[in-house]
Amino acid sequence: MKITEIKTYLMQVGARPGMPAGDGSFRGSRNWLFVKIETDEGICGVGECSGWPRVIERAVQDLATILVGEDPRDIDRLWHRLYVGTMGHGMTGTVGGGALTGIEMALWDIKGKVLGQPIWNLLGGKFRDMIPVYGHAKTPQRARELMDRGYSAVKVGFTGGVDLDLVSSIRDAVGSDVDLMVDAHGPSWMTAGDAILVGRELEKLDLLFYEDPVAPENLDALQRVRDAVDIPLAAGERVSTIWGIRPYVERDLVDVIQPDTGRAGGITQMRKMAAMAESHYITMAPHSGSLGPVAEFAALHILATIPNVLMLERVEFDWPGRYEVVSPVLKSENGTLRVPEAPGLGVELIEEEIGKYPSDRNVADMPTNENAYEPGTFGECVYFQTRLRRRARLRLKRTEGD
């Protein structure tokens, strides 16, 4: 069996007739990139790349020159050949990680179809048939809607700082039996000192985890938060490969790693990440905040086969087109997703539907929420800021005379 061609399918995720402009589009920037690897025996595999899809497409097309004529069943050898092939361009980042991921995912899909087995069965079999998922809420009402759909875990995310009153109101709305998470990612990012002050207030709300409290490259700041706050921490969605996740694990900086199933480096890399984390008693909850539907299938196969699963992030209601570009469609059951049983990934692209949404752009505008920045600084586009008006914004408790 030989690889004959690698095709890419890039699409814009955005507004449709009857939808408000910008819905599901990440401020007009959101793209999905799918990959299809064809062989001389007529068996094809599909994958998905995330991170910067419009740029990653060119990386996949460049790497395709290495793969044509190779046996797609030699997954690990081909992955290393691709990885080494990218090293002349610098360290592997978002673009390289995304390209490696989509290609490797498609190779696993081919192998599963050749052998007539779901990928999870090629990885050692299942621990579980159902994978718990969590949803996103920005209001107490939305959180209650998720509970009505059977979700038992919800995350509230912020840019530019955490609204502690909102988190508290959502906790009140869902009650004590529901797992609640806070994602504090920027921009603008908090300083370590501010992240610690916010974290100490969040301790009262019994969080499952506090995600990305400081900028992702600032591991020393993450260590400061780790030492000062008594809440489980989570991070890692922006890194690729075992070498990217290594400091988070070896320094015990987090309780939860969150590799992105579309840019972590591939199915094998995520399994290796999970094993590294397991040796440090760290769980895994893969990121899925901007992914399309193919990578979600891959995540289920991975999570079925590892012992240290926490749950899977799910963006289920972001854009109706999600349910038109692949078949079959995953449907949640009481806050869980069933692990696929079909050979390979268990999903196929509907190419004519993907073709209806050609890519237009893949760079985000400024955030629309000026509250993400200190007053008067919105146009400065700074990467991080110290929070001013600290008593009001951080709800610091002070004694008389302070």
190-202 burial by CB neighbour count: b if 16+ within 10 A, else e?
A: bbbbbbbbbbbbb
pLDDT digits (tens, 9 = 90+) for 23-52: 444 566 789 999 999 999 999 999 999 999
**Which of 80, 89, 136, 185 is labelled catalytic?**
185
pTM (predicted TM-score): 0.94
Choose the final residue of a domain: 320, 345, 370. 345
Q: Which long-range contacts (CB under 8 A, 24 or more apart) does 117-120 make?
A: 117/343, 118/301, 118/339, 118/340, 118/341, 118/342, 118/343, 118/344, 118/346, 119/267, 119/298, 119/301, 119/344, 119/345, 120/300, 120/301, 120/302, 120/304, 120/305, 120/339
Res 397 pLDDT > 70: no
Tell whether 104 and 178 lie within a shared domain: no
Q: CATH code at 49?
A: 3.30.390.10
- Report d(CA 98, CA 58) in Å as an integer: 11
Tell whether 21 and 168 lie within a shared domain: no
- Report d(CA 85, CA 282) in Å as an integer: 32
Res 392 pLDDT > 90: no
Asked whether residue 396 is domain-assigned, the answer is no
What does the pLDDT read at residue 400? 38
Asked whether residue 352 is domain-assigned, the answer is no
pLDDT digits (tens, 9 = 90+) for 180-207: 999 998 889 999 999 999 999 999 999 9
Tell whether 301 and 170 lie within a shared domain: yes
What does the pLDDT read at residue 251? 98
Asked whether residue 378 is domain-assigned, the answer is no
Tell whether 109 and 126 lie within a shared domain: no
Which residue range forms the structural domain that includes residue 47? Answer: 3-118
Asked whether residue 353 is domain-assigned, the answer is no
Q: Tell me if residue 89 is catalytic.
A: no
pLDDT digits (tens, 9 = 90+) for 309-353: 999 999 877 788 888 999 999 999 999 999 999 999 999 999 999
Asked whether residue 363 is domain-assigned, the answer is no
Tell whether 32 and 152 lie within a shared domain: no
Q: What would the DSSP string read from start to end of 251-304?
A: TT--SEE--BTTTSS-HHHHHHHHHHHHTTT-EE--B-TT--HHHHHHHHHHHH
Q: How many CA atoms lie within 13 A of 193 on its CB side?
A: 6
**Residue of higher predicted confidence among 379 and 27:** 379
Tell whether 213 and 153 lie within a shared domain: yes
Choose the final residue of a domain: 100, 118, 136. 118
**Which of 80, 89, 280, 287 is labelled catalytic?**
287
Tell whether 229 and 242 lie within a shared domain: yes
Asked whether residue 314 is domain-assigned, the answer is yes
Tell whether 16 and 130 lie within a shared domain: no
Choose the final residue of a domain: 118, 139, 169. 118
What does the pLDDT read at residue 401? 40
Model confidence band, residue 393 (pLDDT cutoffs 50, 70, 90): low
Phi, psi of 151 (to 5 degrees): -70, 145
Asked whether residue 384 is domain-assigned, the answer is no
Asked whether residue 23 is domain-assigned, the answer is yes
Tell whether 229 and 287 lie within a shared domain: yes
pLDDT digits (tens, 9 = 90+) for 126-181: 999 999 999 999 999 999 999 999 999 999 999 888 999 999 999 999 999 999 99
- Report d(CA 132, CA 338) in Å as an integer: 9
DSSP state of 162: -
Model confidence band, residue 12 (pLDDT cutoffs 50, 70, 90): very high
How many distinct structural domains can be found in the chain? 2
Tell whether 204 and 323 lie within a shared domain: yes
Tell whether 151 and 109 lie within a shared domain: no
Q: CATH code at 137?
A: 3.20.20.120
CA distances from 340 to 5, 48, 72, 304, 345 (A): 27, 17, 22, 10, 7
Tell whether 101 and 146 lie within a shared domain: no
